[in-house]
A = this chain, B = another copy of it.
């Protein structure tokens, strides 16, 4: 049963994590390929944007479930973070508050955390970019928060319609964020590497002028589906 069943508030100190080096490699593969490799799952959707460009991250999730407009539980989460983690912040209701800024990033950097994914807002974005701390967020806002309402750390959360458990792999880059279940991490890396090889071969054929419509066998399928080629 979930550690926060029956409305209990908890900070779970010890979690099982996907292997750090597998998480890092999945991050390097890139979100689009990983997402395809594992069966088109795990995308956190179109509303979580990077605040920087040309950065790829892979790490293991430490999760936070906060009251909106209150960042007390993010502070509580810092000490359970380890090198290789990515902090993942969900809220119990939609929030546009700037719940995270350069001071929290300073703390996380000292602990080796690789980045932040937050379903609310961040601030100090110019500083965060200058510090090289990567962030994916729904909003940017200066709006400050209080520290008054309890929540939980390292319980299952959902962001962008996807369930995330502590220790899952978070991959994030310019295209968004993809989560890979902890138990599927190695399998996902194998599948991703297969796909990378296949994409490389496809690219070579396309550069040589072959057409995807032939390549993927779509021409017959289109005919079967009743598509006509006409010269207007």
Max chain B C-beta neighbours (<10 A), residue from A94, A104, A107, A149: A94
Would you call A19 an interface residue if the criterion is a C-beta within 8 Å of the partner chain's C-beta atoms? Answer: no
Asked if residues B178 and A142 are in contact (CB atoms below 8 Å), the reply is: yes
Q: A92-B40, A147-B221, A175-B123 are in contact. Are A45 and B76 (CB under 8 A)?
A: no
Of the residues B41, B107, B225, contact of A212 by C-beta under 8 Å: B107
Would you call A197 an interface residue if the criterion is a C-beta within 8 Å of the partner chain's C-beta atoms? Answer: no
Give the residues in chain B near A154, CB-CB below 8 Å: 232
Max chain B C-beta neighbours (<10 A), residue from A6, A148, A187, A212: A212
Give the residues in chain B near A93, CB-CB below 8 Å: 43, 45, 69, 95-97, 141, 143
**Chain B proximity mask over A92-134: 1 for CB below 8 Å, otherwise 0:** 1111111001111011001000000000010111100000000
A42-74 at interface with B (beta carbon < 8 Å)? 43, 45-46, 49, 53-54, 67-69, 72
Asked if residues A227 and B125 are in contact (CB atoms below 8 Å), the reply is: no
**Chain B proximity mask over A154-179: 1 for CB below 8 Å, otherwise 0:** 10101101110000000001111010
Distance in angstroms from A56 CB to nearest chain B CB is 8
Give the residues in chain B near A106, CB-CB below 8 Å: 203, 206-207
Give the residues in chain B near A104, CB-CB below 8 Å: 212
Give the residues in chain B near A43, CB-CB below 8 Å: 93, 141-143
Q: A1 vs B222: C-alpha distance in the bound complex, in angstroms?
A: 23
Query: Can you list 27 contacts pairing A with B, beta carbon distance less than 8 Å?
Result: A3-B232, A5-B183, A5-B184, A9-B228, A10-B228, A12-B231, A13-B232, A32-B144, A35-B143, A43-B142, A43-B143, A45-B143, A46-B139, A53-B126, A68-B68, A93-B143, A103-B202, A103-B206, A107-B206, A110-B206, A124-B175, A141-B175, A147-B216, A147-B218, A150-B222, A151-B227, A159-B161
Of the residues B45, B98, B222, B228, contact of A96 by C-beta under 8 Å: B45
